[in-house]
Amino acid sequence: ARKRLVSILQSIVDARRKRNYTDTDSGEKDMMDRLMEAEDENGRKLTDEEIIDILVMYLNAGHESSAHVTMWGTLLLEEHPDVYQKAKV
């Protein structure tokens, strides 16, 4: 699954790089634009692999936090049926 995700993200990075080279006025910048522009104190930019790793990390972090909130919410509602009844209304 990771190989497929990396492949998809790589194609997006490739398309974005091509667009950024040909489009001088790209409008609003998103996270990927910012990652592609980021430089360290020596002027080194992130590699495609580093950009993809960061995107995968954020994807996983978002998934895990949502899953944890859902799990804890469900457990707490089971422990407090009065609150569960109010939440249903």
pLDDT, tens digit, 9 for 90 and up, residues 29-81: 888 889 999 999 999 999 999 999 999 998 888 778 888 888 999 999 999 99
Look at 89 and 2; give whichever has higher pLDDT: 2
pLDDT in the model for residue 13: 95
Least confident of 10-19, 22-31, 33-42: 22-31
Instruction: Give CA 10 to chain center in angstroms.
Output: 14
Residue 7's domain comprises 2-88
Backbone angles phi, psi at 36, to 5 degrees: -70, -25
Number of domains composing the chain: 1
pLDDT in the model for residue 21: 63
Q: Where are the alpha helices (DSSP H) in 1-89?
A: 2-22, 31-37, 48-79, 81-88
Q: Are 55 and 9 in contact (CB under 8 A)?
A: yes
Look at 25 and 32; give whichever has higher pLDDT: 32
pTM for the full predicted model: 0.66
